Amino acid sequence: MSETLPVSVIIAAYNRPQMTRQAVLSALGQRPLAPAEVIVVDDCSHDDTGPLAAQAGARVIRHERNQGEGAARNTGVAAATQPWLAMLDSDDEWLPSHLATLWPLCADHVLVAGSALWCADDGTSFRYEGLVRRRPVTLRSPAALLYPGNYLPLSATMARADVVRRVGAFDPTLRFGADLDLWLRVLEHGQGVMSPTPVVRYRVHAGQVTQDRDGTARAHLGVLHRYEDRPWWSAARVEAWRGAAAWDRLRRELTNRRRADALRSAAFAARRPERAAGLAGLLARRFLLRRRTERMRRLSDGRHGLAGRPVSTLPTRRETKERR
């Protein structure tokens, strides 16, 4: 039997046969070493999601009734046999160097994460989402995720299995923000680290729950307030996040021509200095993310003759440095 890494990949799936199959293949196609197992929890699909996942090489566990994404992930957590758990949404795909990037960072950490490429359905149009710094950043406290927010993409994150189980895994009652809620609890038990290297292709498409921006924002704030009794919690950082969220709400209200609501959101952001600072920090971060995206696009287009090249074959950070 070929050598593998001690990682259990967990995919919760419901009525996504082809996407789930591609997710499984992306996990098993890791180079140079694949994960020890890929577990697909079929949450009572009405199609061939489970059979196609099994054909692709996953161990499939089927729920006989639909229990929701959080419960499905927890089934995978309970069934996993390896000391590290890697989450992968059924509509995402790992880049081939995902594990090769993250595995070396695991030592002395309870959580490791990479950055992401948010991709349109054509597979070549993308934007970078992740760290704006050039080197990995240590997450020394859960407070690191209070502001600018949960920048750890679920499908780009791995955590120690014993810690995930100790803190109770995912809260199945949360429709939004369950990953943030879990990462906060995990980081109470040790440090994490995040890499600026993209390791996952996050597919943007209709029907995602994250398209409900207002619902996501409300749930995010609710998760943050769950932990206000913790010593690491910071009211200033939460207010900074609220200022940033007000900016996004203002933009949506202007798009929908709700000018009075937009003015109220602007006033809310300006009312406290922490919120104004949070908004300024958000704008600076997005500027840097756009710059990073444009650099990657130039690299994938004309300069190296890579026009139309699939995102999954974009050069790694090391290859980029070697070409400079």
pLDDT tens, position by position, 161-193? 999 999 999 999 999 999 999 999 999 999 999
**Domain coordinates of the chain in residue numbers?**
1-90, 213-323
Bridging pattern class, strands 4-13 and 84-87? parallel
User: What DSSP letter does each residue of 211-250 carry, written as one string?
Assistant: G-HHHHHHHHHHHHHTTTTSTT--HHHHHHHHHHHHHHHH
Which pLDDT value is given to residue 209? Answer: 52
Whether 50 contacts 116, CB under 8 Å: no
This prediction's pTM? 0.89
Q: In percent, how much of the chain has pLDDT > 70?
A: 89
pLDDT tens, position by position, 89-127? 999 999 999 999 999 999 999 999 999 999 987 656 889
Let me know if domain 1-90 sits in CATH 3.40.50.2300: no
> Which two tokens mark 222?
């609710």
Name the residue among 182, 157, 158, 156 with its Cα closest to residue 169: 182
Whether 84 contacts 7, CB under 8 Å: yes
Q: Which residues contact 317 (CB under 8 A, 6 or more apart)?
A: 196, 197
Whether 113 contacts 194, CB under 8 Å: yes
Which pLDDT value is given to residue 122? Answer: 64
Whether 22 contacts 52, CB under 8 Å: no
- Return the minimum-mean-pLDDT range out of 63-72, 282-291, 298-307: 298-307
The predicted model gives 289-298 an average pLDDT of 93
